[in-house]
Structure formats: C-alpha cells, structure tokens
Amino acid sequence: VLVEEVFDCLPVVAPRFPSLRSRAMGVGRFRGHRDGRRLCRAMLPAVALPILCRIATAQRVDPKSGAESVTFDAKVDGKTRRMGVSLDANYRWLYDDAQKDCNSGDKASMEACYLQGLDREAYEETYGIYVARGDPSEVRLQYAAIGKYNAKPNYGSRIFLTDMDSDDGSGYYNFKLVGSEISFTMDLQDVPAGMNAAVYLISMDPLGNLGATYPHGQANEAGWKRGVGYCDAQCPKDLHFVQDQGYYEQGRVMSCCPEMDLFEGNRFAAAMTAHPCSTLSQSTCDTNTTECTNPCDTDGADVNLFRRYGPQKAIFELVDLKKPVTVRTRFIDDSGTLTRIEQVYEQEEGGQMVQKFNMTIDDQPIAEQKKLFDEPNVFADVGGVAKMGDAMDRGMVLSLAIWADPDSNMNWLDSCMQNISKFDCSLHPTFDSTDVFWEAWREQPGAWRGPLD
C-alpha cells in the first residue's frame, strides 16, 4: 500500500541572509521492495478538538489577531491537500491586554498573556518565512529578517506543519511513517558553514497540549494555533511554555521526546540521525529535582558519510548543489516493526531522477560505528530502530528549522568535534588537506564531521 504526500523545502537566494527553501515532500507506505509497491487510496487521521471546561485562560489567543491561515499545497495520494505552518511559540511576541511586553511576573501572570498571532505579512517581514510564494508547494526560511516594528533582526525560525484539510481543520499534521516513505526537495546552495537547515520529526502532542490545565488553574487555549508544545531528544530547557506544564523561567524544565532527523546540514555537510527515547511520547523533567534524567538518546544513531568515510564524501562532492536535491527516506518494517531506515539522495539529470548516494540506519551497522568511534551505544540501550518505530507508530510532527549555533559553531555537524580526552582539535584546526582528516582518524575516528575549520 502506498500513500504519497508532497511538500517542498528549499533555500532561496537572499542578498544578505541565508535561507532554506523547501518545496516537495512525499510520503508513501510500502511492503517489500520498492518495485513491488502499489498505489491505493488512504484515509489520513483527523484530529479533533476536545470540549473543555475552563476556570481561567492561559497562553491566550488574542481575538483581534484571529486564526492563522498561511497555507501551501501538498500532494497526498496524487491529490492536492492544504497544509499550514505554525511558528514555534518561543519565537513569538508575548504581550498583555495593554499590548505591552510580558517579560516578567509570576507564573500565573505570564500564563495569562497573549501569544502573538501572525498574518502572511508578519511571517514574511518579521520572521523571514515565505509560504507558497511563486510556487504553491514551496516553503522558504530566511535566517534573518527585520520587521517594521523591530529595531534588530530576528534570527532563525522553527515551524511545524498543520493539517488544514482535516474535518475540523485543526492540529499539527500527524505523520505515521512505519512501512512508509517521505521525500522532500531542497535547495542548499545558500546555507553556509556553521548553520543548520533541518527537516525532522518529533513526538509533539498533535494539538500542542491545547486545553491542558496548568497547576495554577489556567488552561492552554493557544496550543497548536500558536506553536506550543515543542520537544526533542536534546530535551531543551529554553522553552517559555513547556508542554502541559505552563510557563517556566528558561533553563529549568526539560522538554523531551523522540526525534527523527531526516536531514540536518548545509552546503558542506549532511546527516541523518534517529533519536529514540525510553518514553514513546513527550515528557518533562524538572532539573531542580534530583530524579531528573534525560530519557532520550541525545547523540542518536547518526549517519554522516564524511564522518564515517572521509574526504570526497562531503555533500557538495556527492551532489550538484547548484540544483535542487531530493531526499527520499523509507521506513522499512517487518510485520509492523521498524527494522531499518534507508535514505536516498536523487537529482534530475537529462529529464530523469538519478540516485546520487544512499545512507542506512540499521542496528548492527550502528553498533559497529559506535565501537569504531569509541562511543557508548545508547541507541541500543534505549531500544534501537524498533524503539524509534514504536514512537513513529504513535504519530510525529514535522518541523522545518534554520538556525545557527554560536556556542560551538555547529562543529558537531560540519567540523572537528572537540573531545579533549581523545583528540584535541586545536592541534590542527584548519582543514587544509585530506591529511588532516586521517591524522585525526588515527587518534580518534569520527572526530571530523565535515571539511570546515
């Protein structure tokens, strides 16, 4: 059985700021080998809003801002389907009834503030998010944007796909991909070193914890409509509103959940990584308590051909980055249990799609790589590929993001990743020849993730 959905993620040529533009994404179910697939009509899950009885409201939706309706076209089983985007709550303005900043106050007061609603103009000018401009199936993320009310640029963005064609037109789109495939076409030529253009799945609540009643009695009425509910396998602590726990000062509460990175990279490096967790859905953890632990495989099962095989395996040496690249990921199962993840990079040549290279996540090769790199195999400890599949069976939300990492310059993705006890990257910080890679390899295989200083 094959169900197909199409979106598109590509970067645009910006005169000052890099961007990711994404335009064509597809999803399909299959059994066995791909030449044995067959198409059929599929029903996609509808997400229903709960009926709530509230004592008070929190994370409110300003009635003057209305519902967001920035949409693009997707192909589902060969037919057009309307998808929306929702900017993560952490990037939005938080304000009170007088339209003044909510930047301090007790927990209950902060939860009673509004999360900014955005029209198309605000998405574009303030956040650099361009949806269905020119191409009805294109989403473009520009790294920096200066809105008319901003003194300084907003840097980076993170959006989630929403389901605008369900019966009630509500919720994040819920992807269930075991036994399926998903594809997207991207343009990376303007995504520079030290930046990450990410396309990934996370086990967020499909309604953004809409209607959750917080400990002080306030209820979340913003939810998915304002990008609430983020989590990933890094268990971020920088969220203002944490799942169903309400407002917290940043740096205290971790927001954890399984994560499947379909693509993380730029025009120099590329990686696919599976991050299962011992829990199958989102969870929180208060770091002020002694029993707080991360339930997820933070490092994950990563496949980065440059890291594993060295020079001549950087993404710009494997594909022509002057042209769009299609990434197709298949989640292969055996009687419903995920057994391996296969990914293929393709480009059009002479009117036909040509395979350029492929990558695979499988328990045994990952175990061998962990041993080679002298890394603990937390992936296996948590449950490996099958555990990742268990989370995917429950449904995951697709996120597109573009961000920079000033603290580490994204070295974990495209340069030498420092571990001073095993290898000192500062001994030869400039990647000026292939010898640099192999010198490091003799001391610490896998230290170099990409060919950048």
Give the residue numbers marked as catalytic.
Answer: 259, 264
Q: Are 174 and 206 spatial neighbours (Cβ–Cβ below 8 Å)?
A: yes
What is the residue type of 89?
A
Query: What is the C-alpha separation between 226 and 204, in angstroms, rounded?
Result: 14
**Do 26 and 330 form a contact (C-beta atoms < 8 A)?**
no
DSSP 50: P
Q: What is the greatest pairwise CA distance in the chain?
A: 66
Q: What is the token pair recorded at 119?
A: 């029209």
Spell out where 15-113 has E strands.
Answer: 19-29, 56-58, 60-61, 71-76, 79-87, 94-95
User: Are residues 208 and 223 in contact, defined by beta-carbon separation less than 8 angstroms?
Assistant: yes
398: Cβ contacts below 8 Å, ≥ 6 apart: 7, 25, 160, 161, 173, 175, 199, 200, 201
Report the residue count for the chain. 453
Neighbours of 357 (CB within 10 A): 15
